């Protein structure tokens, strides 16, 4: 005799299996609902001890506390930050691999015509973190003591003066390019894996000068360990009151500050982006973070800029801003 209820039982059994599969996936971390349930890695595209690393480690602590999991900072150096960005673009879109990057995210597409990723299409933005002024500094025994003297000295010693940067795509490389454009001088560049190691060599008089973020230069400037020639923002930096602006020393068009933001791979679920953004907002309001960044010549962005929308908008506008300047200078990394 035909079982009239067999179809209903099969459907019920199927539904039970589907529910079981969902529970299992959630237990294994397969769903966004239980995110995060394991350590998160923030990939930093430059060497440990440098300015990007410093900002990342500062915000990692309050973010970890908010998310309730450990955050591991991993330095993946190379090719001006593009090796790290490529790694994160190809990571699982599960929120456990996050990229911290800076202004270099916007210069890379022009500097590297064969770039393996698209900064806009291959990433989801989490939000902006901070904007950092840059400073021109010289090694302890480098002769020039002012920007005027520096320009004259470089002009007269073009073959021997060395300029440190963190590779093509680094903020220090962009700042050097702006210096070249403003002065008409062609610098002899010495590339490092980050301005952390570049600073070590500069302090040891192995390289002559560089333009680097105040998050790396404030302490040696205030300790009188390096020469400080100018800060690259329209206004002087509060914590470095004796350092003139580029405008004050006659380099009117040489202005740049280094914005930082967090990214995950493009396919990352929205709930994960929201969780990371909420943790970022907590971090930029953290008293310890605010105080330390002020000591280092900067501040977190206001909350309305720590959003995916503000971040994407800035990234797009900066790609458009830097493209003609880089093309005009004829610099390329590939």
Interacting positions 95-134 with ligand MLT (CB under 6 A) = 102, 104
- Residue whose C-alpha is closest to residue 304's, from 330, 277, 266: 277
- Residue whose C-alpha is closest to residue 57's, from 174, 202, 215: 215
Interacting positions 302-331 with ligand MLT (CB under 6 A) = none
The residues that bridge with 44 in the sheet, in sequence order, are: 75
Q: Is 195 in the site for ligand MLT (CB under 6 A)?
A: yes
* Contact assessment for residue 179 and residue 254, using Cβ atoms and an 8 Å cutoff: yes
DSSP 109-149: HHH-TT-SS-TTTSEEEEEEEEEEEEEEEE-TT-S--SHHH
Q: Which is nearer to ligand MLT, 29 or 49 (CB)?
A: 49
Query: How far is residue 206's CA from residue 188's CA, in Å, rounded to a whole number?
Result: 13
52 to 37, 279, 329: CA distances (angstroms) = 26, 18, 26
Q: Is 51 in the site for ligand MLT (CB under 6 A)?
A: yes
CB of 211 to ligand MLT, least distance (A): 8
Per-position x/- string for 3-42, each x denoting binding to ligand MLT as judged by CB under 6 A, each - no binding: ----------------------------------------
Q: Which helix (H) or strand (E) holds 100?
A: strand 97-101
Q: Is 220 in the site for ligand MLT (CB under 6 A)?
A: no
Q: Which is nearer to ligand MLT, 35 or 136 (CB)?
A: 136
Total residues contacting ligand MLT by CB under 6 A comes to 15
DSSP classification of residue 249: T
Interacting positions 134-173 with ligand MLT (CB under 6 A) = 166, 170-172
Interacting positions 225-244 with ligand MLT (CB under 6 A) = none
Q: Which is nearer to ligand MLT, 53 or 189 (CB)?
A: 53
Q: Where on the chain is the footprint of ligand MLT (CB under 6 A)?
A: 46-47, 50-53, 102, 104, 166, 170-172, 194-196
């Amino acid at each position: 005799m035909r079982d009239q209820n067999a179809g209903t039982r099969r459907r019920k059994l199927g539904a039970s299996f589907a529910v079981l599969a969902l529970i299992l996936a959630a237990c294994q971390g397969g769903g966004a609902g239980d995110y995060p349930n394991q350590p998160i890695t923030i990939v930093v595209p430059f060497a440990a001890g440098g300015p990007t690393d410093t900002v990342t480690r500062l915000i990692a602590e309050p973010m970890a506390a908010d998310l309730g999991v450990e955050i591991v900072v991993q330095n993946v150096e190379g090719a001006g930050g593009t090796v790290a960005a490529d790694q994160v673009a190809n990571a699982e879109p599960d929120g456990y691999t996050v990229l911290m990057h800076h202004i270099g995210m916007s210069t890379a597409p022009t500097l590297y015509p064969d770039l393996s990723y698209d900064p806009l299409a291959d990433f989801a933005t989490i939000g902006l973190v901070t904007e950092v002024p840059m400073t021109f500094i010289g090694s302890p025994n480098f002769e020039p003591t002012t920007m005027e003297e520096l320009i004259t000295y470089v002009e007269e010693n073009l073959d021997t003066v060395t300029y440190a940067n963190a590779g093509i795509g680094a903020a220090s490389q962009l700042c050097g390019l702006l210096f070249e454009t403003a002065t008409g001088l062609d610098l002899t560049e010495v590339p490092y894996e980050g301005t952390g190691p570049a600073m070590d060599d500069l302090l040891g008089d192995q390289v002559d000068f560089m333009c680097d973020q105040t998050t790396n230069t404030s302490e040696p400037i205030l300790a009188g360990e390096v020469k400080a020639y100018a800060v690259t923002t329209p206004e002087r930096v509060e914590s470095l009151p004796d350092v003139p602006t580029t405008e004050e020393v006659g380099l009117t068009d040489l202005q740049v500050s280094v914005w930082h933001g967090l990214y995950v791979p493009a396919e990352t679920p929205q709930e994960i982006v929201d969780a990371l953004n909420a943790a970022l907002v907590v971090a930029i309001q953290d008293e310890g973070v605010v105080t330390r960044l002020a000591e280092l010549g900067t501040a977190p962005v206001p909350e309305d800029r720590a959003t995916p929308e503000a971040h994407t908008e800035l990234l797009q506008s900066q790609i458009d801003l830097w493209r003609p300047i880089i093309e005009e200078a004829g610099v390329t990394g590939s």
